[in-house]
Structure 1
Amino acid sequence: MNGLQEMILIGEIVLQSKIAQRAAGRLRATHENFDHVETWCSIQSILVSVGNVSKILWPIEKYKGRGVELRKILKVEKDNPLSNRKFRNHFEHYDERVDEYFSYNSQGLYIDLAMNPSLTSGIFGDLPLNTHRGYNSFNNTLVFRDEMLDLNEILVALDDLLTNCKPYSLSTYYKK
């Protein structure tokens, strides 16, 4: 990877990180003035931006070396939460998740886009059954069926990465 390519890719990481940060700010604003569409728009923006960063740092096999090199330069650990694109995939391939669900379940109950689903949880904090996508504004977590994603953890990892990008990218990306 040459210096220009490195600078371009790190610049893209910075841009995608800034997009996710702005979306997180919009998401926090929906807590006070509830806007259902803006809530899910912001969540989707965060997931897509984080997914784009993940693809740069953990690319397909053909570009694996580039990913290794960038992770080393930017001091990104193997267990970094940005490496997991599962939730982004749940949202991006939602149609497939619906098809899969109904191929195994013929029941008519389908709860989607639930707000604060853990508040309606069962005993001992179990996730409610049949919640397909949910957002808990109290602890900033996402639910997809029986899985949970802590957006705070993702956003902290993104902030750490952004800090590590500063010495390697164009300073114009850091202006607000």
Structure 2
Amino acid sequence: MAMTELDGDFIFLTFALTESARALHAIEQVDLLAAVRVQVQPGVERREMQSVFDHIRLALQFSANVSKIFWPHQNAAARGQRLRKLANLPDRHALADRRLRNHIEHIDERLDDWTTPSPRPFLSTQMILHADYPHGERRDEVINATAVVYDAQSNSVILFGDIFSLSDLRQAVLDVQGKCSEALTKAAA
């Protein structure tokens, strides 16, 4: 086969491998950026927020793209099954969970549902709860009044009330990445 002619499955596996690497990089950046503290003046700190959420969104989007390759919508089920077999991935896998994907792909619908009890308590569409944020009732209020929350202490994202561990997501993406790499190595041999 010429270098410019590749099997479609090889292309899908390569795409999944690339998106996995991008997701893992973004997850790593979330940890690093959430730890940034700049003292503006005595007793006043500035912490990263927007860049943390930018990387959360990237991590979730890239992870969702990997999920779509191996656990696609019904009209591409045969492709997903074939690629899972090539990569030795189970039908049931953490990335097969469609809740995260659906939140990302249907954010407008989630916002419709979230804003339906209007007027509603509203703090922000996104908020970071740093590890030193007080626990208790106030923390729960922030979670209930915010669409997307990054909880730095548990390293999780709360999307419209659903909790997704970035540590667990990282492990799931690493698993898929390793299996894609093995499948590509076999395919190239």
Fold shared by both chains (TM-score > 0.5): yes
Deviation string 1:84-138 (CA, Å, 9 cap, x unpaired) is 2323432443333222223333234344312128955546x96742232100112
Post-superposition, which runs of at least 4 consecutive aligned residues in structure 1 deviate over 6 A? none
Which secondary structure does the structure 1 equivalent of 2:145 belong to? coil
Alignment of 1:160-171 (within 5 A): 160-169=175-184
Give the equivalent residue in structure 2 for 1:152: 167
Q: How does 1:49-64 map to 2 (within 5 A)?
A: 49-64=62-77
In 1: Cα distance, 2:89 partner to 2:79 partner: 13
Aligned twin of 1:39: 52
Query: How far is 1:149 from its partner?
Result: 0.4
- Between 140-149 and 96-105, report the one with greater CA deviation: 96-105
Counting matched residue pairs gives 168
Q: Is the 8 A contact 1:7 1:170 kept in 2?
A: no
Q: Gapped runs of 5+ residues in structure 2?
A: 1-5, 37-46
In structure 2, the partner of 1:133 is: 148
Do the aligned partners of 1:130 and 1:145 also contact (CA within 8 Å) in 2? no
Residue 165 of structure 1 deviates from its aligned partner by 1.5
Residues 103, 159 of structure 2: 8 Å contact kept = yes
Q: Which runs of 5+ in 1 are unaligned?
A: 172-176
Go from structure 1 to structure 2 and tell me whether the alpha carbon gap of 1:107 and 1:25 turns closer, same or farther (over 3 Å shift): closer
* Greater fraction of residues in strand: 2
Q: CA deviation at 1:168?
A: 2.6
Superposed CA offset, 1:59-86 (max 9, x none):
2222211111111222222331111232
Residue 20 of structure 1 contacts residue 45 of structure 1 at CA under 8 Å; is this kept in 2?
Answer: yes
- State TM-score, norm by structure 2: 0.77
Q: Is the 8 A contact 2:114 2:160 kept in 1?
A: no
- Partner AA of 1:56 in structure 2: I
Pairing of 1:12-27 with structure 2 (within 5 A): 12-27=15-30
Match of 2:81 in 1: 68
How far off is 1:139 after superposition? 2.0
Higher alpha-carbon Rg:
2
